[in-house]
Structure 1
Amino acid sequence: MLQTPGGGAGHGAAADTGLMSIGAVLGVLREEFPEVTISKIRFLESEGLIEPRRTPSGYRKFSAGDVERLGHVLRMQRDHYLPLKVIREHLAAMERGEAVPLPALGRPGDGEDGREPASDVPSAARIGRGRLLAAAGVDERTLAEWESYGLLTPVEDGVYDAEAVTVAALITELGRSGIEPRHLRAMKAAADREAGLVDQVVAPLKRHRNPQTRAHAEARTKELAALTVKLHAALVQAALGVRLP
């Protein structure tokens, strides 16, 4: 269960209402969802999954209920990899007081071809092409364009890493501002270089004869990945002379 701050300026909450800024919401959510971004929150809002209040000057203000709803949406994406349409229907049913079980991962429907990932990797770490198309709300031609620029790459025929859902959502949102997939090739190249650097650091741990040391490699990879993401964001903000809320 997410723990939302009770108020106070230190949490970015409005003193009289207890509402939180999007930056404060991000801080709360990252305790459970380290990879969530402000762009992801805005994307979920644009898809109608949350409706934060707006100040007269246009700033978003989130209630504790909004934060709980966001956590529920992110949990359904992370643990079940459901398309946004299914999540929206599930939330609507909950609001009507209906007890609706979550669909099982990998169930045919919503654009999924019903094929199970052809590997021994747990299904929670993979998503089929049809389900990715449904979650991103795009057609085959658009997905093929993204693939042509290397922005999305299947790990095997018709199967993608689950993080592809987040990548697709961010590409879509950037597209609304006129940033086309071809413009994002430099970002992909930079991400590949950063990933290579992290992999170079943890490679000795992965090759170690001690099983516990090899197991530590995954935790170390996540730690370094989080640091590189934060550094990348800080460098972009510094270059633009802005500070994200």
Structure 2
Amino acid sequence: MLRTPSGGAPDGTAATAGGLMSIGTVLNVLRDEFPEVTISKIRFLESEGLVEPQRTPSGYRKFGPDDVERLAQVLRMQRDHYLPLRVIREHLEAVERGEDVRLPSVGQHDEEDPAGPTVARIGRDELLAAAGIDERELAEWESYGLLTPLPEGLYDAEAVTVAGLVLELGRFGIEPRHLRVMKAAADREAGLVDQVVAPLRRHRNPQTRAHAEERSKELAGLVVRLHAALVQSALGVRLP
């Protein structure tokens, strides 16, 4: 369960006396678990009918605790199960009707490797549906290296996240061709991490090889935090 603020702070900054929150407050609550979420993402989920916040007479959105928890459910199902929004909406509606439904699954998984955990894979049609894009857009993004299919024609699960962020940036006028420099930087950063953990992956001891996965995650997290800090420093801003 998410921890939501309470109290009677002024409109637009925190929860109201009735327990309602501005979209900015909701963003801060969700970012504890979903650091990549944005106000644009919340608005998009609302436009897709996944949450229906109240509106003040002046048109401001006001979210209750149930709205925030529902948003968290949607974001978890996207993150953990790679489900299209249509499937998520249908599942939540069935649950609200009291139906005994199982969470649907999308995509495939590789067989578990002794050196690491299972790796989620998603098909091309599933990626298109989850991201809400068409073949032309996907082909364009692939031409710039932003998304790359695996040899078997599938995509890793992070492709859904990448697609969503490319769309978010597009709303600000940043086109896919502009993102090639970010992809090049990401590849260099990934190469640095891989250089450090490569000896662990080649080790004869299975436990040592398994440790390489955890070390990769730890290093990747540090690299991402450093990258974010450097960008913020260069722009002279600080993200909430």
Query: Shared topology, TM-score over 0.5?
Result: yes
More relative contact order, 1 or 2 (CA 8 Å, 6+ apart): 1
Residue 147 of structure 1, CA deviation: 0.2
**1:63-120: per-residue Cα shift (whole Å, max 9, x none)?**
33233212321332234322111112222333333333333435xxxxxxxxx67x64
Residue 57 of structure 1, CA deviation: 9.4
CA distance, structure 1, for counterparts of residue 89 and residue 122 of structure 2:
19
Which amino acid counterpart does residue 174 of structure 1 have in structure 2?
A: L
CA spacing shift, 1:23–1:83, aligned 2, 3 Å? closer
Aligned partners of 2:27 and 2:37 also within 8 Å: no
**1:178-228: per-residue Cα shift (whole Å, max 9, x none)?**
111101001101111111111112222222233222211111111111122
Aligned to 1:64: 65
**1:136-166: per-residue Cα shift (whole Å, max 9, x none)?**
1111111000000000001124200011011
Residues 161-172 of structure 1 aligned to structure 2 (within 5 Å): 161-172=156-167
CA spacing shift, 1:41–1:202, aligned 2, 3 Å? farther
Which amino acid counterpart does residue 233 of structure 2 have in structure 1?
A: A
CA spacing shift, 1:55–1:29, aligned 2, 3 Å? farther
Aligned partners of 2:4 and 2:29 also within 8 Å: no
CA distance, structure 2, for counterparts of residue 192 and residue 123 of structure 1:
22
Is the deviation greater in 59-68 or in 219-228?
Answer: 59-68
Aligned to 2:155: 160
CA spacing shift, 1:148–1:15, aligned 2, 3 Å? same
Unaligned runs of 5+ in 2: none
Matched, 1:100 2:95: no
Of 29, 36, 52, the match for 2:33: 29
TM-score, normalising length: structure 2: 0.79
Unaligned runs of 5+ in 1: 107-115
Aligned to 2:226: 231
**Identity rate, percent:** 71
Q: How many residues align?
A: 228
CA spacing shift, 1:65–1:97, aligned 2, 3 Å? same
Aligned partners of 1:83 and 1:134 also within 8 Å: yes
Aligned to 1:240: 235
CA distance, structure 2, for counterparts of residue 154 and residue 58 of structure 1:
43
Query: RMSD between aligned alpha carbons?
Result: 3.0
Aligned to 2:180: 185
